[in-house]
Amino acid sequence: MKVALGSDHRGYALKEFLKGFLRERGYEVLDEGTHSPERTDYPVYARRVAQKVANREAHYGILICATGIGMSIAANKVKGVRAAHVCSDDLVRLSRQHNNANVLCFGSLYTDEPTAARWVELFLKTEFEGGRHAKRVAMLEGE
């Protein structure tokens, strides 16, 4: 499974941690930047990850900035992306089960490494329930 990662400077350290975490578990990681802690603009990296997911070059995406909010807004501008900004285990699980989210977003200011690892693992292992939710997800896609 391929996972695209992206962050701005505020999420860089957590992205680097997750890159190793994912590779240790056998995931192929596409690191879309940033590649240093120097100040940068989060929409650039949100778009790169979102496009990888939308074009099916990656199965899922993970985006990190200071709050996760800007990344989720930027990623959701790309057709075919359902980016979820999360702050709890339940929201991670429900974003997959009910919304078939394909991009996970959270903030480095509010998420430590163990929590980020738990959320990423939960996100990647939780299945979309389909059923009554499938119609709603299709509506999000304009179908």
Residues marked as catalytic:
65, 98
C-alpha to C-alpha distances, 26 to 23, 116, 143, nearest whole angstrom: 5, 17, 35
| Count of helix runs (H) and strand runs (E) in the chain | 6, 5
Closest CA to 3 of 126, 103, 81, 72: 103
